[in-house]
Amino acid sequence: MPEQKTGPEHRQHTRAPIELKVDYKKLNSFFADYTKNISKGGTFIKTKKPLPIGTRFLFKLTVPQREAPFELLGEVVWSKGDGDEPGMGIRFIYSNDSQRTEFEAVVEKLMADSLGTDLTEKLLKKPLHS
């Protein structure tokens, strides 16, 4: 499996260590894995069977205190098939500005719940709305 990493120095958004259930389909099989971290722009999905780089797929992200999973399109931008933490880096592809705004608000709330409001505000460099 080719390994290509952009690394944290290439990230546009701060990532928070949050584990969420992710469901997606590969060919005719369904998979359920977990995120290791998440940001407004993407996530890292822990999996022993990463999808090929460049693959676009629809996935469902189960978010606490939300009735239905959040459905997003993602693209594999890097993968790592072995080592301590195999998985794939996913870039979110938003269908419109409304979806981006709604999901970014969800990510900010997850970050605040996980890291605390003060740290999240420092990481995002803006005050959070109540």
Q: pTM to 2 decimals?
A: 0.72
Residues 60-80 have pLDDT tens digits of: 888 887 888 888 899 999 998
Q: Is the pLDDT of residue 3 over 70?
A: no
CATH of domain 19-118: 2.40.10.220
In one letter, which amino acid is 29?
Answer: S
Q: Is the pLDDT of residue 82 over 70?
A: yes
Residues 25-34 have pLDDT tens digits of: 877 778 888 8
Looking at the DSSP bridge assignments, the partners of residue 47 are none
Q: Residue 98: its pLDDT value, please?
A: 93
Q: Residue 16: its pLDDT value, please?
A: 64
What backbone phi and psi angles, to 5 degrees, belong to 63?
-115, 130
Q: Which helix (H) or strand (E) holds 74?
A: strand 70-80
